[in-house]
Amino acid sequence: MSSIIKISLVALLAVFLTACGNDSSTAIVKQAVAIESGDECHLCGMIITQFPGPKGETFSKHAEQAQKFCSTRDMFAYYLQPENKGHTIQLYVHDMAKSHWDRPDDTHFTDAKTAWYVIEHSQQGSMGATLASFSDKEHANSFAKEFGGRVIDFTQIDTELVLNL
């Protein structure tokens, strides 16, 4: 066998093994998208833009479009379900340090996994209590000082916390 053919076969095998060994979902980076006036919450069906407070979006391995939520609470209620958690590749929440509570700005989404959250605060979301989201811990602390509550990170959010908001 010629050396050119051997090199070609080795290169082809390397590409094949690399493709098989990688979970392509982790390589896909999707950006948050604007929430349009008629968009409905993926969990509860409410019109998202009719309510105050931070919203959320998730992207799944199995869907091209974002799943949009009327609140961070609904987003986490959806995400934490075992059948969804394993298929979700990205989560976004509004950075409320850069947005008005009554009308969050879709140009200020941040990665939900690196965000900071304030729970047990006095501000109301679409269905009452929600997690106020911030890209910076200091902004979360300032919000908690003004509106009460306590600051947590993504790793502290579980089903029990969401159900007891």
Query: What does each of the 165 residues of the chain score in pLDDT, given as a tens digit?
Result: 544 433 333 333 333 333 334 444 444 568 999 999 999 999 999 999 999 999 999 999 988 899 999 999 999 999 999 999 999 999 999 999 999 999 999 999 999 999 999 999 999 999 899 999 999 999 999 999 999 999 999 999 999 999 999
The domain ranges of the chain are: 30-163
The residue assigned the tokens 């939900």 is: 112
Q: Which of 104, 122, 121, 106 is CA-nearest to residue 53? A: 104
CA atoms of 136 and 116, how far apart (whole Å):
7
Q: What is the CA radius of gyration of the chain?
A: 20
pLDDT, one tens digit per residue, over 12-42 is: 333 333 333 444 444 456 899 999 999 999 9
Q: What is the pTM of this model?
A: 0.82
For the chain, the maximum distance between any two Cα atoms, rounded to a whole number of angstroms, is: 75
